[in-house]
Amino acid sequence: MIVADRLSKNFGSLTALTDVSFQVEPGEVLGFLGPNGAGKSTTLRILSGFLPPSSGKASIGDFDLLEDSLSARRLTGYLPEAFAAPPELRVEEYLRYRGRLRGLRAPQLRTRLEAVVGQLNLGPRLRQTFGTLSKGFRQRVGLADALLATPKALLLDEPFGGLDPLQRKEFRDLIRDLAKDGMAILFSSHVLPEVEELANRVLILHQGIARAVGTPAELSGHLNKCVGLRIRIQSSSRTFEEGLCALFPNISLETVSDTEWLLHDLEEASQKKLLAWLANRSEQVLEFSLVQPRLEDLFKSMVEGS
């Protein structure tokens, strides 16, 4: 549904994007992860039809965004990062106007308006002007606008910005429901847990280059060599830590507390050696567990590595 094929974008001498490619299928949620200035918003602006790419192709459905931008835009709902509407307009007036702009006729517009207002709990705010809304409700109006014409592709640029935890949860649930209904969803964020929780697949973008694409589990799998071991004993013991250091002099040992340690980069053979060593110790072991790598670790390693 959403296709980016070797997208590049330059702003004068500044390169914002370099050869970024990905696809989002109907029913899929692709999370766009990257620090500020990574090129996330530029990619979304290209896919929304607001900006053209310097090279490469982008399409929504079967419509190329350069050759048939209007048809592509008809299939797309887009929530820009700093969404704004005319402050003097009431929420209902604004949504009616946007519906008409998207070609909805009166009966259909009424039905869709009722639906999105219900989905986003905007009912009590319909008579309020946009300028008097809180940031959270402004985001809701933006999302309502994006959803009004039942788009096949939804582009959300930092949709959780400025939302409180409850609103974030509501937004996440809604996005999941929309994906279940077959919508292709691309959202950007620099909040890792949100991406990890919501996205079927994640694309990590840094300095305009796609560093990795895959499911959160696949991406975490890239970090297998970084898997750590957590050991927790009942009471503190100085000799225990000294023993660990002596056993693995070349391995990074992280002291979490008097009774807890993390061992990084431990190979399987070393793990067995450690188990055997623990069996001969007098300390009572409360925990001996593998530390699973998280998306955050991959993100950090990529951003810091570049």
Partner 1 sequence: MSAFLAQLRREVFSLFVTPSIYVLLGVWYFLNGLLFLYLLDYAPAVQADLRLLPQYFFGSGLLVWLLLPAFPPLITLRLLAEDYRLGTLEPLLSAPISDFAVVLAKYLGACIFFLLFWGGILLLFLLLDLHGATLDWPRVLCAFLGALLASFLFLATGLWASSWGGNLVLAAGGGAVLNYLLLFLPALMEQSPGFLGELFSAASIPKMLDQGFSAGLLDSYSLAFFLVLSCFFIFLTWLKLVSRRWVP
Yes or no: say if 286 and 260 are a contact pair by the CB < 8 Å rule: no
Site for partner 1 in 200-239 (CB under 8 A): none
CA distance 175 to 150: 13
Least distance (Å) from partner 1 to the CB of residue 2? 14
3-class DSSP state of 121: coil
User: Considering only residues 34, 39, 142, 293, which one is a binding residue for partner 1 as defined by CB under 8 A?
Assistant: 142
Number of residues that this document lists for the chain: 306
Q: Which residue in the set 28, 145, 194, 196 belongs to the binding site for partner 1 (CB under 8 A)? A: 145
Stretch that binds partner 1, among 75-83, 189-197, 249-257, 289-297 (CB under 8 A): 75-83
Instruction: Say how many C-beta atoms besides its own lie within 10 A of residue 86's C-beta.
Output: 11
CA pair distance 76, 28, nearest whole angstrom: 15
Binding test (CB under 8 A) with partner 1, winner from 85, 143, 192, 198: 85
When binding is defined by CB under 8 A, the residue of 80, 136, 162, 214 that contacts partner 1 is 80
How many residues sit in the footprint of partner 1 (CB under 8 A)? Answer: 36
Q: Does the protein bind partner 1 through residue 263 (CB under 8 A)?
A: no
Nearer Cβ to partner 1, position 146 or 295? 146
Contacting range for partner 1; rule: CB under 8 A; set: 7-15, 23-31, 116-124, 233-241: 7-15
To the nearest whole angstrom, how small is the minimum distance from the Cβ of residue 142 to partner 1? 8
Give φ, ψ of 53 to 5 degrees.
-75, 155
Minimal distance in Å, beta carbon 54 to partner 1?
Answer: 5
Cα separation of 103 and 5, whole Å?
Answer: 29
Write out the E strands in 158-283: 184-189, 201-206, 209-214, 228-233, 253-257, 260-263
One of 2, 28, 73, 228 touching partner 1 (CB under 8 A): 73
Q: Which of residues 13-52 bind partner 1 (CB under 8 A)?
A: 45, 48-52
- Between 78 and 171, CB nearer to partner 1: 78
* Residue 69 burial class via C-beta count within 10 angstroms: exposed 0-12, middle 13-18, buried 19 and up: middle
Q: Whole-angstrom Cα distance, residue 148 to residue 165?
A: 25
In the numeric block, the tokens 């330059």 are attached to: 10
CB 89 within 8 A of CB 129: yes
**Footprint of partner 1 on this chain (CB under 8 A)?**
10-12, 45, 48-55, 70-71, 73-74, 76, 78, 80, 82-89, 97-98, 100-103, 105, 142, 145
